[in-house]
């Protein structure tokens, strides 16, 4: 059992209030003698007393903690983002606690409520699609928070996101510049705006090049679910029946099983089909040919999220809506 102030009081024969003042760092401003302060410090060492920083922070009105709700703790994107957030927050004296929602609305709400109940100083949230009301409640309660990677339309709250529309537009246009006309992608059964933005960016690039959108080249699949078998069946149809000559994969979750199907079934990249992926992945550098991917501002996403949140923790009131541009295209041999 951890040592308490009461234990030190019993060990030294002093009152609990005297021990508390002696440990507070303000003992010299009180009537407590230096001899008493030394007795308490000796007892602290002897009993291995560790102050409860959370309780101390609560008494002062802060905890120096941040709650980060991620959508998928196993997703390399969020693993990288969490690492950046943790390191940046530490520079400002904050510890970060993490919780994953697994793209489940109830788990996302529960994670937010848990962090609020533990009185973290602020929240960074990658929201699921069905937690809009929970986010509005945070705003009404004036709890500092920032949405990251995802946002909600017509909601006046802090967010830091990537330029999903512009990035998808550039990725599709890049394939078009290579002479590809039958560009397939996957659309997602979701209300999350960042995924809808990617799909609209894809369509905008086609329209600019006077290529009519063909819904047969954009099958709808569940968002962020393990549907590997479904994806492989769709890729089979897209190659054999729809004569796709390129793929724009909007997530790694669709790219990986699709690439597995293509490579195992003898399709040559880029001779038979060109490929570009929205997010880069170390795996894409290792396979042959290497897979072209967009370079997203992962580090900036984490840095800006922490910066925005700390401003609000410290009393800022101006809502910040930040959209970060794509860093470029990592060209490999897949196009």
Least trusted range by pLDDT, from 8-12, 20-24, 32-36, 64-68: 20-24
Class in CATH terms, 164-296:
alpha beta
CATH topology of domain 5-51: 434 Repressor (Amino-terminal Domain) (1.10.260)
Taking the C-alpha atoms of residue 70 and residue 67, their distance in angstroms, rounded to an integer, is 10
Q: Using alpha carbons, select from 101, 196, 105, 186 the residue that is nearest to residue 153.
A: 196
Indicate whether 122 pLDDT > 80.
yes
Looking at residues 219-248, what average pLDDT do you find? Answer: 91
CA distances from 290 to 171, 247, 267, 273 (A): 16, 15, 14, 13
- The pTM assigned to this predicted structure is 0.79
pLDDT of residue 191: 84
pLDDT, tens digit (0-9, with 9 covering 90-100), for 65-112: 999 999 888 788 899 999 999 999 999 889 999 999 998 999 999 999
Confidence class of residue 289 from pLDDT cuts 50, 70 and 90?
A: confident
pLDDT at 55: 58
pLDDT category of residue 21 using cuts at 50, 70 and 90 = confident
Q: How confident is the model at residue 31 (pLDDT cuts 50, 70, 90)?
A: confident
Confidence at residue 101, expressed as pLDDT on a 0 to 100 scale: 94
Nearest Cα neighbor of 132 from 156, 114, 164 is 156
Burial of 59 (0-12, 13-18, 19+ CB in 10 A): exposed
Angle of CA points 73, 199, 168, to nearest 5°: 80
Same fold, 5-51 and 164-296: no
Domain boundaries, the chain: 5-51, 61-162+298-324, 164-296
Q: What is the mean pLDDT of the chain?
A: 90
Provide DSSP, 201-265.
Answer: HHHHHHHHTT----GGGS-EEETTS--HHHHHHHHHHHHHTS---EEEESSHHHHHHHHHHHHHT
pLDDT bin (cut points 50, 70, 90) of residue 209 is very high
Tens of pLDDT, residues 250-278: 999 899 999 999 999 999 999 999 999 99
Cα separation, 295 vs 308, in Å, equals 23
Percent of the chain with pLDDT over 90: 64
Is there a contact between 64 and 97 (Cβ–Cβ < 8 Å)? no
Residues 305, 144: contact at Cβ < 8 Å?
Answer: no
Report how far residue 36's alpha carbon sits from residue 246's, in angstroms, rounded to the nearest whole number. 78
- The answer on pLDDT for 243 being more than 80 is yes
**Residue 317 — φ and ψ, nearest 5°?**
-125, -15
User: Which CATH code fits 61-162+298-324?
Assistant: 3.40.50.2300
Q: Are 182 and 246 in contact (CB under 8 A)?
A: yes
Distance CA 249, CA 171 (A): 10
């Amino acid at each position: 059992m951890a040592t308490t102030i009461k234990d030190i009081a019993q060990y030294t024969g002093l009152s609990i209030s005297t021990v508390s003042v002696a440990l507070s760092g303000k003992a010299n401003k009180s009537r407590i003698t230096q001899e008493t302060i030394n007795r308490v410090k000796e007892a602290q060492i002897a009993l291995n007393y560790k102050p409860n920083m959370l309780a101390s922070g609560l008494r002062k009105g802060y905890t120096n903690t941040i709650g980060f709700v991620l959508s998928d703790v196993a997703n390399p994107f969020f693993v990288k983002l969490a690492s950046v957030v943790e390191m940046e927050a530490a520079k400002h004296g904050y510890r970060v606690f993490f919780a994953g929602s697994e793209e489940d609305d109830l788990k996302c709400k529960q994670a937010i409520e848990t962090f609020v109940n533990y009185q973290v100083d602020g929240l960074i949230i990658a929201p699921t699609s069905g937690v809009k009301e929970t986010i509005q409640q945070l705003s009404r309660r004036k709890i500092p928070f920032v949405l990251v990677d995802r946002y909600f339309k017509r909601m006046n709250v802090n967010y830091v996101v990537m330029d999903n529309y512009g990035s998808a537009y550039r990725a599709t246009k890049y394939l078009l510049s290579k002479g590809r006309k039958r560009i397939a992608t996957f659309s997602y059964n979701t209300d999350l705006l960042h995924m809808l933005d990617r799909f609209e960016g894809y369509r905008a690039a086609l329209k600019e090049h006077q290529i009519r959108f063909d819904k047969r080249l954009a099958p709808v699949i569940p968002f962020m679910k393990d549907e590997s078998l479904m994806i492989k069946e769709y890729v089979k149809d897209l190659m054999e029946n729809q004569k796709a000559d390129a793929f724009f994969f909007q997530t790694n979750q669709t790219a990986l099983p699709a690439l597995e199907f293509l490579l195992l079934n003898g399709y040559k990249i880029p001779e038979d089909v060109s490929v570009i992926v929205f997010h880069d992945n170390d795996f894409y550098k290792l396979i042959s040919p290497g897979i072209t991917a967009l370079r997203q501002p992962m580090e900036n996403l984490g840095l800006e999220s922490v910066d925005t949140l700390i401003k609000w923790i410290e009393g800022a009131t101006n809502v910040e809506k930040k959209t970060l541009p794509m860093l470029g295209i990592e060209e490999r041999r897949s196009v």
